[in-house]
Amino acid sequence: MSVNEINSNYVFTDGEVISFSVHYRVPTDKGLVAEAKITLKAKRSLGREGFDYCTLHLYFSSVISLYISEDFKNESRISDMTLKKIDDDTFYVSLHPYNTSNEPNVNDNFVIRAEEFTFDMVNN
């Protein structure tokens, strides 16, 4: 499923982060290899029937950058999410975007940029 299909079929507003992990592998000739996994609750569009809640895994491999400046006072809730393939063909996600434009912003928080992205719906 492409990023556009995910953004069209799932609503991340008022979602919840269940878990977040980053794994580093042994250094290679390209440097450290990192992978990130985010598990979150979201709403899946059912068309005219509304939405149902589901659990999703977002996988990022060949992580280029990770930026988190979070006090975690809002528990695990997210108000929105920006997920997009950007101009340099990398994937960008922010779990605390500065605005709701679905465009990267220098003021975004909880940001991951990676060369590869995959996605699984765990349950509904």
Question: Which run of H or of E encompasses 4?
Answer: helix 3-9
Question: Which run of H or of E encompasses 5?
Answer: helix 3-9
Residue 59: closest CA among 12, 117, 1, 7: 117
pLDDT for the residue numbered 32: 67
Handedness of CA 118, 65, 40, 25 (dihedral sign): positive
Residues 15/77, Cβ–Cβ less than 8 Å: yes
% of the chain beyond a pLDDT of 70: 88
75-119 tens-digit pLDDT: 677 878 899 999 999 999 998 889 888 899 999 988 999 999 998
pTM of the model: 0.84
Q: Say which residue the tokens 């779990």 belong to.
A: 95
